[in-house]
Amino acid sequence: AARGRGFRELAQAVCSHLYRAYPHYSWVGVYMIEGDRLKLWAWDGPQPTQHVEIPLNAGLCGWAASTGQLANVPDVRKDPRYLQCFLSCQSEIVVPIARGGKVYGEIDIDSDRLAAFGAEEETFLQEACAILAERAAADAEVQAAGAGR
Ligand code: SME
* ipTM confidence: 0.97
The full set of domain ranges for the chain reads 7-141
Atom 3 in ligand 1: residue holding the nearest Cα: 83
Closest atom of ligand 1 to CA, residue 84: 1
Determine contact, residues 9/18, Cβ cutoff 8 Å. Answer: no
23 C-alpha vs ligand 1 centroid, how far in Å? 19
* pLDDT tens digit at each of 149 positions of the chain: 445 589 999 999 999 999 999 999 999 999 999 999 999 999 999 999 999 999 999 999 999 999 999 999 999 999 999 999 999 999 999 999 999 999 999 999 999 999 999 999 999 999 999 999 999 999 999 999 999 99
Report the side by side order of strands in the sheet with 91-99.
Answer: 53-55, 37-44, 27-34, 102-111, 91-99, 71-73
- At residue 79, what is the residue type? D
> Which CATH superfamily is 7-141 part of?
GAF domain (3.30.450.40)
Distance CA 36, CA 124 (A): 28
